[in-house]
Amino acid sequence: MYLSIKGLAKSFGENEVLKDVNVDIQKGEVVSIIGPSGSGKTTLLRCFNGLEDPDKGLFTFHDGQILNFEEKMNKRDIVQFSRRSGMVFQAYHLFPHKTALENVMEGPIIVQKRNKAEVRQEAETLLEKVGLKDKMNFYPHQLSGGQQQRVGIARALALKPELMLFDEPTSALDPELIGEVLTVIKDLVKENWTMIIVTHEIQFAGEVSDKVLFMDGGYIIEQGTPDEVLKSPKEERTKRFLQRIL
């Protein structure tokens, strides 16, 4: 087990976005989250790395860290928690005035205070891994959306996270650019990263995931293997959602 989450809840004002989410993530597992727009998928993903502060919920990590969001937490725990994961955003979120290489180097140098020469080496290797070594001195505006997102993936990897989080990583891309980003994610699957992916790419989710979560109305309505959830869903809401989009 990598992480167990019990009773996670999050509201924005009166809007109860996550009501009672319970999920276990195994080490090396690829988990996809699917579901209608507004069902709480992105909010759940952001709770995994502290970008949202849950109202309630107990997170138990493999190494003994326990976070109870109903209680006040100490700063060290919060920092340790947020450093466990790297996030890949829908809209890339690159620094516009930094090159691809500088974008990848920023986190390890500024946040982790690591040695610059060593970080540079690693950043070049990561850009090579995502197929962008030749573009490392380009600025975001000189790159296509697919290339920018691949820089976004390299940037998240540079922090050496235990957990990679992807928030609809292809939804801002033109159709012809989606494949190159999915290929990079598939390479990470082969390397046994623990990953959580919010996606509308149902076929992709079916191919790469060990587990699929279907969310609706702030709950995980159904979870299981891709075959169980995508091919023979038990719940009416899952069936209706899949019929609508497939």
Tokens 């180097």: give the residue. 105
Stretch that binds ligand ADP, among 36-44, 83-91, 123-131, 155-163 (CB under 6 A): 36-44
- Where does the chain have alpha helices with state H? 41-47, 75-82, 100-106, 116-129, 145-158, 175-190, 202-208, 226, 236-245
The C-alpha atoms of residue 157 and residue 175 are separated, in whole angstroms, by 25
Query: Measuring CA to CA, which residue among 88, 87, 35, 67 is closest to residue 230?
Result: 35
With CA atoms as reference, report the closest residue to 237 among 227, 224, 220, 211: 220
Cβ of residue 40: shortest distance to ligand ADP, in angstroms? 5
Identify which range of 9-17, 22-30, 189-197, 224-232 contacts ligand ADP by CB under 6 A.
9-17
Asked if residue 17 binds ligand ADP (CB under 6 A), the reply is yes
Q: How many residues bind ligand ADP (CB under 6 A)?
A: 11
Whole-angstrom distance, CA of residue 134 vs CA of residue 139: 12
Q: Which is nearer to ligand ADP, 45 or 158 (CB)?
A: 45
- The stretch near ligand ADP (CB under 6 A) out of 12-20, 58-66, 127-135, 228-236 is 12-20
Q: Tell me the torsion sign for CA atoms 82, 83, 88, 93.
A: positive
Q: Work out which of 3, 30, 40, 238 binds ligand ADP, going by CB under 6 A.
A: 40
Asked if 170 interacts with ligand ADP (CB under 6 A), we say: no
Q: What is the distance between the alpha carbons of residues 193 and 171, in angstroms, rounded to a whole number?
A: 22
Beta-bridge mates of residue 61 = 3
Q: Name the segment binding ligand ADP (CB under 6 A); options: 38-46, 64-72, 132-140, 145-153.
A: 38-46
Rule CB under 6 A: which of 43-72 touch ligand ADP?
43
Q: Which is nearer to ligand ADP, 45 or 105 (CB)?
A: 45
14 is an interface residue for ligand ADP by CB under 6 A: no
Nearer to ligand ADP, 153 or 220 (CB): 220
| Residues at the site binding ligand ADP, with contacts judged by CB under 6 A | 12, 15, 17, 35, 37-43
